[in-house]
Structure 1
Amino acid sequence: MTESWPTSPEEARRLQERLRDQVVTEDRLGPVRAVAGADAHYAPVQGLTWAAAVIATFENLELEESVLACQRTAFPYVSGLLSFREAPTMLDALARLSRTPDLLLVDGQGIAHPRRLGLASHVGLLADIPTIGVAKTRLVGRYEEPGPARGAWSPLLHRREVVGAVLRTRPGTRPLFVSPGHRVGLSTAIDLVLRCTPRFRLSEPIRLADRLSREHAP
């Protein structure tokens, strides 16, 4: 898969512009019974990217399956082009799962991105899985701080467009930046992320994938 990926920032931005209109930002998903999480980390000394994908039950978030993939880190770090650095390995990990999940949560941006094609949208589009971006930090946009209670949120605005939600998943902690990835609308994304985040700040499928990928990318 990596042979067909852009090798320069200019090519990557042009591809984002071509793909952005293919992203679906309304609900096109069925019942959610199995939810996946995906995350990636780097081993810079070895020049490797490790990506983990997990599947948990949606009802009680119990881990059912986890897989790892590793590839050479082939694309430099450029703001707004993270998917070209992480998506090839993340897609490899997703392909190793024994089944396709009903929903995917990705540690990264969905459409809350300068060209509306962040990591979650790119991965969701290529894998054709309903996907939500759940990022720990903001990439673009402005917002009012949401209220302190769990479930409080405020819209994330960029160029006069609502591109996501700034969502408080736990009282007294920093909010997360939730945005549609592919085939999930914003209101549904907020509800699903909250249901996948019962105890900690991070959604449980992402937290599990984060822990697994970190074990191999110190």
Structure 2
Amino acid sequence: MVYQKKGQYVTGFSVGILYLDACWYPVIPGNVANLETYDFPVQLKVVSGCHTANLLSGDSTLLDSIIDAAKELEAEGARAISAACGFFGNFQDKVAEAVDIPVYLSSVIQIPWIRTGLKSSKKIGILTAYEAGLTEKLFESCGVTNTGNLIIRDLSQEEEFSAILENRGSFDNEKVRQEVVEAAISMVTEHPDIGAILLECSDMPPYAADIQRSVKLPVYDFITMIKWLHFSTSQRPYYGFF
């Protein structure tokens, strides 16, 4: 006997992804909100009234809309929920309490796990779209209680990358790639004790391979987290000889 959850019509996906309302810039492959990024299906859900400025500032009035969207994803059959901006992390703890499925809204959540695998003397380098938004409140919401070994590099003032924050509608992808990679190289050169890099921004995974190739370090981002989340909720049996 096969049963269907009442109210669920779309099936066959495990991870639901919250995204911003009314953003305007190219969402290229590798971006969390580009479906070509995944080799498994995901379901996207817009958060009404969630714009770049109020999300980056951690505007508390967004909480109800974010929870409503998360509950909709849960009702539609999502087995876990993520998001398409690291600054959803401001609401991580409260959204996790509001639904009955796992919630991982920010790539920042990976920091304790990354730290566990490094020597105690090593630091974690973070490339972010907006350093001022990486507040203690956001870190605490994401389960990060020690920020002493984090090196943060801000790209919000870069000539081309800033098109994302400013919703300019276009950008030169090769220039953005160059800015992100050069920021990573500069950060590691200045801090040779960095043992791994975390990309806070959901727009940075398209450049993760270039960063990794340039600095020869592990690179974590939203996609490493979402893949982990997908496989943790969609295990398949193994077949073969033994």
Q: TM-score under structure 1 normalisation?
A: 0.33
**More strand by percentage:** 1
**More helix by percentage:** 2
